[in-house]
Structure 1
């Protein structure tokens, strides 16, 4: 059903003048010790093997106990470890895991296929996100709708987008991409997400995921549907919640500015994110909460992000953002107060009616 509301005309994006930050990306880079940019293959592998051993150990304990008293604990812990594996694959996708492309691709496929993420398909679309962070018109993930679009949405559309699917959106994104963007599946080589030269990378990752689906199906056939629910489906859904929660928090806050047209450039967009403290989970999910430094320099390994963050704080000054609220308080505030941005202008912020 079409609404009769007419969204105000957005001026040509080229009309916005580019306002420069008081520092350059070279200034920020110079503040970071050089060793922070150097990945250690063995150190990266140690984190990967640590995660694999913990995942295997949790499965062994759960199978041994087979207790409904233990399963809720197992589900939370295993979902968190699935998320940790995703972050390992995330480093592989950025090339910060090692200097060896073949190793990055191998570990990335193992880490991501296990949790049904097409490594290359995700890697390529994630590249688009990093190249366009903070740009209302071209960002790939968690970008705002305009006030005009928000007013046109039916109540059920708002409920679906801002409530029901908020923490379960990732599988939908993999198959359909984000709303208001050209459609396309991360599993299909002909998707508009990909170049012709990336076709076989996408096919390779889809095959890896298909093999994982076949293994899960074989396990279900052998041990039954309850096995699927207890040992894979619930931890997988928990992983999806973790992924959506973390990425939502890093890019949805009423203190984060959004830009249009020529007013946007890479560094302004890169610092249009916010660091979040996850407490005891920080080390488990590889300090992904240090998101500002990661967005500026994608190739810094996760184990150097804390040091890099401390180094860039004096340079960024008031432009460095970190949430001092608890995870759930920050999530609730963003969910309730970050619904749309102005139809016009640049350097604008989330609002809510």
Structure 2
């Protein structure tokens, strides 16, 4: 596993054009990648959408026709995984890498995210914040560490969700964000959003409300067991996939986090790691190929593997990749990664002396 490299401290304020201690620039990396990797194909992007939707429809048809409790556990895992795959297609829309058309990205993004109760624009904007601030302790949005002081002050229920039930926390994050952050993905008044984004946020929120109403109608018509079998459990599996993958992208004991002037975009973008999900890789559209995605966020997912191979010689030991089973990586980070030091411009995760500390 190539994940032991430590970046040197920066000596000047962060900016997108500054000279850094890295042996390459963003322009160097871009020049190494074939130009076609930056060009989305609408038809290729749509083919992934249609494939995912077709599999989802087929799984529903099979589960409904069999109506067997022997098959439901298989159906739940498969359908929850496909919900996650559908989210990844919407993820491309949010980055503008599904197509060059803003309205098409918005339309497909809502088509992918609203059925799984993700407010597309609210999520898109917060995810933009994450990518613009990856590895920055003060401004990152996704799976950033808390300081030791903050950790010690957290109430037991907050520690329980964040550190001991982390795979179930995503719906709470949508409503309340994470520690030290205020706001909701559903409200335009949230600090996440600019005033000009008000109607985008309200549109996605209104569509989520309509989806909840639709699910309520199904429950009224067919009962709670129907909702449980055909929606709730697959949705729960999707939530766990989303949390697991995003957690593993950014949580590793030897991945550094930065404060203040020691952070800048390219160095922060390298504070992530590629993961191997085995046979799941093509199903969830190679989302584990994550380093190149953080450097060039508007690159379609189907070009990331080519781009990764092109930049690996330049990145050298600064490229992080883990080939160990993801469950093993998760268990290690689950126990070892709780907080970072209150001080220092470059810090690493630490774990509490006694577990569980709540």
What's the counterpart of residue 270 of structure 1? 269
Q: Size of the alignment, in residue pairs?
A: 337
Alpha-carbon distance, 1:78 to partner: 0.2
Q: Distance in 2 between matches of 1:53 and 1:333?
A: 37
What is the TM-score when the length of structure 2 is the normalising length? 0.92
- Which 5+ residue runs of structure 1 have no aligned equivalent? 1-14
Offset at residue 154 of structure 1 (A): 5.1
1:143 Cα deviation (Å)? 0.6
- Alpha-carbon distance, 1:43 to partner: 0.3
CA distance in 1, matches of 2:330, 2:238: 17
SS of structure 2 residue aligned to 1:114: helix
Q: Is the 8 A contact 1:16 1:346 kept in 2?
A: no
Secondary structure of the corresponding residue to residue 97 of structure 1: coil
Shift of 1:251: 0.4
Q: Judge conservation of contact 1:87–1:285 (CA < 8 Å) in 2.
A: yes
| Aligned residues of 1:290 and 1:306 also touching (Cα < 8 A) | yes
Q: TM-score when scaled to structure 1?
A: 0.93
Residue by residue, what CA displacement relative to the aligned partner does 1:86-130 show, whole Å, maximum 9, x if unpaired?
A: 000000000000011111001000000010000000000100000
- 1:214 matched to 2:198: no
**1:90 paired to 2:84:** no
Query: Hey, what's the Cα distance between the residues in 1 that align with 2:51 and 2:10?
Result: 49
Q: Relative to structure 2, which stretch is displaced further, 211-220 or 110-119?
A: 211-220
CA contact (8 A) 1:16 1:260 kept: no
Backbone CA RMSD of aligned residues: 1.3
Give the stretch that moved more between structures: 324-333 or 209-218.
209-218
Does residue 180 (structure 1) correspond to residue 180 (structure 2)? The answer is yes
Q: Does the C-alpha gap of structure 1 residues 156 and 122 become closer, same or farther in structure 2, counting only changes over 3 Å?
A: closer
Q: 1:215-294 counterparts in 2 under 5 A?
A: 215-294=214-293
Secondary structure of the residue aligned to 2:275 is: coil
Question: Counterparts of 1:294-309 in structure 2 under 5 Å?
Answer: 294-309=293-308
Matched, 1:169 2:169: yes
In the alignment, the residues of structure 1 paired with residue 257 and residue 335 of structure 2 have an alpha-carbon distance, to the nearest angstrom, of 18
- Unmatched runs of 5 consecutive residues or more in structure 2: 1-8, 13-19, 354-358
Aligned-residue offset at 1:160: 3.2
Map 1:143-158 → 2, pairs under 5 A: 143-153=144-154, 157-158=158-159
CA distance in 2, matches of 1:157, 1:42: 44
Instruction: Work out the CA distance in 2 between the residues paired with 1:30 and 1:262.
Output: 27
The answer (yes or no) to whether the contact 2:338–2:350 under 8 Å persists in 1 is yes
